[in-house]
């Protein structure tokens, strides 16, 4: 049950707080001039249940819109359990909040904890049922009739199991088509992949090999200059430096013998001689190591060309080429077992097809039985909605040759509003006023069997008047006997039955326009009904009729 609704900066509403706790079950009506914003209640609750948000919903000049509602879930233990499973407080009322920012982005909260849109949708599915013009449009789509029937017959879970199996079947069919295509080109593809793999494997590539070859090639290119430079250095060391240093060393040894103070300098001279001798040996070794084989340059060039060719075909680096080869090996393995996979897929598909047909047949039989019950129940409901000798029938036509995601049934609502006229598809013959009453009849039937306590009816009275309007009013009042019903209406007949009556007004406040919603006192209710009956300047007769309608609505409720 919806206890409270709080709205901030949504559309034309600045701040709004509504308390519905005084009407745990009963009819709460909203009336007002056309364009005043009566549907804002529907819009707010729709947003709370996960409806699509837009930045246009945020009041001009504001950063964000906030919608918050408190629900009593004490009679719905399954919802408390759902909250508990998600680690949310389930001990008291359930408080939902949605914040929509200026970019249209949203955040959901349940009992002040951030929540996912999916969890909110699962929760509110059993909290509130909204019947608006969108639902009426669903009745005008034949493809939606099967959803109405399955919902009424309690077949949605059974259909979900079927749909899960159907989706698996579609996956298998797609895989089978792909594998069949692979089989048709298997040998040609195997030859091509085999050629690619052999070309890579025969090359005997090693990671980093090309970098090492480039370094070796660069060294070979500079070998002539290196031989000349290092060779001249060796020659100078041998012919000049080494000989002079030897003389210097002998001189210093003789000087040291004459003067002990020259010990360190003599030692350094000897050390320099040894260092020069070692340097000479190292340079000789380097000269011998410098490659001078011109044939090796040709080998390197050929190897690098081979590597570059493979890289152009299979990857920009050697590592990528080798990874490509590994993928080819796996693909060849898959090709080798195509026939086995085909057999496995066809066997699984055969089993699923058989199971699907069993489930489709069972679902079809259930629909036929549910369709008969829905037809009978709708006849009764429509009779109480001022339909004279109206016929309504649910047609369930099975076609075992065609399996769809819903089964093999074509479900269609047939309707005849006039005596003597044959049943025809509802989508082709129903009028606007008839559609409103049909939708109301459906909602009443569904409300009796589902667990939803709160029902919102948005202009369910569109296109009707006279006795039909009175019949609709009585039907809504009947529904409010066991549900909390919110009704946005333009009919005084319906408003007269309200246990609570709210007026929606749009008021220009300086340069801004605001929508206000307030609860009406008994005398104010009479004035509002009089306006609905005869315009902004009601007469005494109109006021008297309004009071009479209010008294009549109160008496019938008793």
**DSSP letter, residue 471:** H
SS3 of the chain: helix, strand, coil, percent, to 5? 60, 20, 25
Distance CA 393, CA 413 (A): 6
The stretches of 384-486 forming alpha helices (DSSP H) are 426-429, 432-449, 466-479
What is the CA 93 to chain-centroid distance, rounded? 29
Residue 61 DSSP SS3: coil
Q: Select from 39, 51, 50, 75 the least CA-distant residue to 454.
A: 75
Predicted confidence at residue 294, as pLDDT, reads: 64
Classify residue 31 by burial, with Cβ atoms within 10 Å: 0-12, 13-18, 19+: buried
Beta strands 13-19 and 2-10 are antiparallel
pLDDT higher than 80, residue 289: no
Please write the tens of the pLDDT for every residue from 471-481: 999 999 999 98
Q: Flag the least confident range among 150-159, 291-300, 359-368, 540-549.
A: 291-300
**Secondary structure element (H or E) that encloses residue 90, with its range:** none
Residue 498 CA neighbour count, 13 Å, CB half: 28
Are 41 and 497 a contacting pair, CB within 8 Å?
Answer: no
Q: Is the pTM of this model over 0.75?
A: no
Please write the tens of the pLDDT for every residue from 94-145: 999 999 998 889 999 999 999 999 999 989 888 888 887 677 778 888 989 9
Six-digit token pair at 293?
Answer: 């084989």
Please write the tens of the pLDDT for every residue from 39-76: 888 889 889 988 888 888 899 889 999 999 999 988 88
Which residue shows structure tokens 């005849």? 416
Residue 266's contacts (CB-CB under 8 Å, 6 or more residues apart) are 252, 253, 255, 256
pLDDT band at 393; cut points 50, 70, 90 = very high
| Phi, psi torsion values for 472, nearest 5 degrees | -65, -40
Residue 116 CA neighbour count, 13 Å, CB half: 6
Distance CA 95, CA 319 (A): 58
Please write the tens of the pLDDT for every residue from 495-549: 999 999 999 998 887 778 888 899 999 889 999 999 998 877 778 889 999 999 9
Six-digit token pair at 132?
Answer: 């608006």
Classify residue 521 by burial, with Cβ atoms within 10 Å: 0-12, 13-18, 19+: exposed
Are 33 and 492 a contacting pair, CB within 8 Å?
Answer: no
Buried b (16+ CB within 10 A) or exposed e, 525-537: bbbbbbbbbbeee
**Secondary structure element (H or E) that encloses residue 556, with its range:** helix 540-557
Predicted confidence at residue 130, as pLDDT, reads: 84
What's the chain's average pLDDT? 88
The three-point CA angle 414-415-421 to 5° equals 120
> For the chain, first and last CA: distance in Å?
22
Residue 91's contacts (CB-CB under 8 Å, 6 or more residues apart) are none
**Domain extents in the chain:** 189-336
Predicted confidence at residue 554, as pLDDT, reads: 59
Query: Between 374 and 447, whose confidence is greater?
Result: 374
pLDDT higher than 60, residue 557: no
Predicted confidence at residue 558, as pLDDT, reads: 44
DSSP secondary structure string for all residues of 324-393: HHHHHHHHHHHHHTHHHHHHHHHHHHHHHHHHHHHHHHHHHHHHHHHHHHHHHHHHHHHHTTT-SS-EEE
Query: Between 169 and 459, whose confidence is greater?
Result: 169
What is the CA 157 to chain-centroid distance, rounded? 22
- The beta strand positions in 228-308, using DSSP E, are none
Residue 190's contacts (CB-CB under 8 Å, 6 or more residues apart) are 332, 335
Classify residue 270 by burial, with Cβ atoms within 10 Å: 0-12, 13-18, 19+: middle
Residue 166 DSSP SS3: helix
- Cross-strand partners of 68: 6, 97
Are 506 and 12 a contacting pair, CB within 8 Å?
Answer: yes
């Amino acid at each position: 049950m919806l206890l409270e609704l709080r709205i901030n900066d949504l559309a034309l509403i600045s701040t709004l707080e509504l308390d519905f706790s005084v009407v745990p079950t009963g009819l709460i009506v909203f009336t007002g001039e056309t364009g005043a914003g009566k549907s804002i209640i529907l819009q707010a609750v729709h947003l709370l249940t996960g409806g699509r948000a837009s930045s246009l919903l945020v009041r001009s000049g504001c950063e964000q819109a906030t919608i918050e509602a408190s629900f009593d879930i004490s009679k719905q233990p399954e919802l408390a359990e759902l909250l508990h499973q998600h680690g949310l407080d389930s001990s008291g009322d359930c408080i939902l909040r949605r914040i929509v920012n200026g970019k249209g982005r949203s955040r959901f909260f349940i009992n002040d904890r951030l929540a996912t849109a999916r969890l909110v949708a699962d929760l509110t599915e059993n909290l509130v049922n909204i019947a608006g013009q969108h639902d009426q449009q669903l009745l005008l789509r034949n493809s939606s009739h099967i959803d109405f029937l399955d919902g009424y017959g309690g077949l949605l879970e059974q259909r979900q199991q079927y749909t899960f199996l159907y989706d698996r079947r579609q996956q298998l069919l797609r895989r089978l088509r792909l594998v069949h295509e692979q089989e048709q080109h298997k040998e040609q593809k195997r030859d091509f992949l085999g050629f690619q793999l052999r070309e890579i494997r025969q090359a005997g590539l090693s990671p980093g090999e090309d970098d090492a070859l480039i370094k070796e090639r660069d060294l070979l290119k500079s070998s002539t200059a290196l031989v000349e430079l290092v060779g001249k250095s060796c020659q100078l060391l041998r012919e000049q430096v080494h000989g002079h240093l030897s003389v210097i060393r002998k001189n210093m040894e003789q000087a040291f013998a004459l003067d002990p103070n020259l010990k360190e300098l003599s030692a350094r001279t000897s050390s320099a001689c040894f260092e020069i001798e070692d340097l000479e040996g190292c340079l000789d070794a380097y000269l011998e190591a410098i490659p001078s084989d011109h044939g090796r340059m040709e080998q390197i060039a050929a190897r690098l060309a081979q590597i570059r060719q493979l890289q152009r075909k299979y990857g920009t680096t050697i590592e990528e080429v080798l990874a490509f080869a590994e993928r080819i090996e796996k693909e060849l393995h898959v090709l080798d077992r195509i026939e086995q996979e085909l057999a496995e897929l066809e066997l699984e598909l055969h089993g699923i097809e058989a199971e699907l047909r069993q489930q489709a047949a069972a679902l079809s039989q259930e629909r036929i039985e549910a369709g008969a019950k829905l037809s009978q129940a709708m006849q009764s409901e429509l009779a109480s909605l001022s339909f004279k000798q109206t016929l309504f029938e649910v047609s369930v036509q099975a076609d075992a040759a065609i399996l769809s995601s819903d089964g093999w049934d074509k479900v269609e609502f047939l309707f005849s509003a006039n005596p003597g006229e044959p049943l025809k598809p509802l989508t082709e013959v129903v009028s606007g006023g008839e559609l409103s009453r049909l939708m109301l009849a459906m909602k009443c039937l569904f409300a009796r069997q589902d667990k939803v306590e709160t029902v919102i009816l948005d202009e369910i009275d569109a296109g009707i008047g006279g006795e039909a309007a009175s019949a609709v009013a009585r039907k809504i009042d009947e529904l409010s006997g066991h549900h909390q019903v919110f009704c946005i209406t333009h009919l005084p007949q319906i408003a007269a039955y309200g246990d609570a009556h709210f007026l929606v007004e749009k008021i220009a406040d300086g340069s801004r326009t605001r929508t206000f919603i307030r609860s009406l006192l008994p005398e104010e209710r009479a004035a509002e009904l009089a306006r609905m009956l005869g315009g902004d300047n009601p007469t005494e007769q109109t006021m008297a009729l309004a009071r009479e309608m209010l008294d009549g609505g109160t008496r019938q409720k008793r």
